[in-house]
Amino acid sequence: MNTVSKLGIAVAMLMAGTTGSVWAASLVQVSLWDKGASTEMPMGLAYATPGLDISKATMGLKVSPGAVKAGKVTFKVKNDSKDTVHEMIVMFLADPKKPLPYIDAENRVDEDKAGDKGEVSELDPGKSGALTVDLQAGKYLLICNVPGHYGAGMWAEFTVNP
């Protein structure tokens, strides 16, 4: 094989490897946790609540990593609760200083008005699910919107960098 052919093959292999990595989704691990169904859920712990003390939360989301680059993002979600159903919804924060629109009578976020980008629907305890979405740069909030859970502190900030 001549040098030009070898070089052409090497360039093609390099380009194929690069193309594959450009299209690969960022992987984010999400753990949905709580201190048990018998633990009283405090309220008033929703995102952007004045005087927020999230240390009082009895449930929440652990997210790793907390920031990725814009593009395809795959969320691998596990409900680590022993006895409570949870879900994970990706919400775009148009204004990170403002709370998400809330339906008081239903004790949950108004998903239609809040900028829902996708979700892993209700997961039974111990179960897992995944979601892949194409996200633009900006601030996001990952929430559980089972009634009462968001207000009890079940949310986590998430950043998508350019």
Domain ranges for the chain? 25-161
Report d(CA 141, CA 83) in Å as an integer. 24
Please tell me the pTM assigned to this model. Answer: 0.84
**Domain 25-161 belongs to what architecture?**
Sandwich (2.60)
Tell me the pLDDT band of 61, cut-offs 50, 70 and 90.
very high
Least confident of 30-34, 40-44, 106-110: 40-44
CA distances in angstroms from 153 to 3, 72, 139, listed in the order given: 63, 27, 18
Stretch 122-134: mean pLDDT = 98
CA distances in angstroms from 49 to 61, 146, 153, listed in the order given: 17, 19, 10
Does 51 have pLDDT greater than 70? Answer: yes
Q: Where are the alpha helices (DSSP H) in the chain?
A: 3-23, 111-114
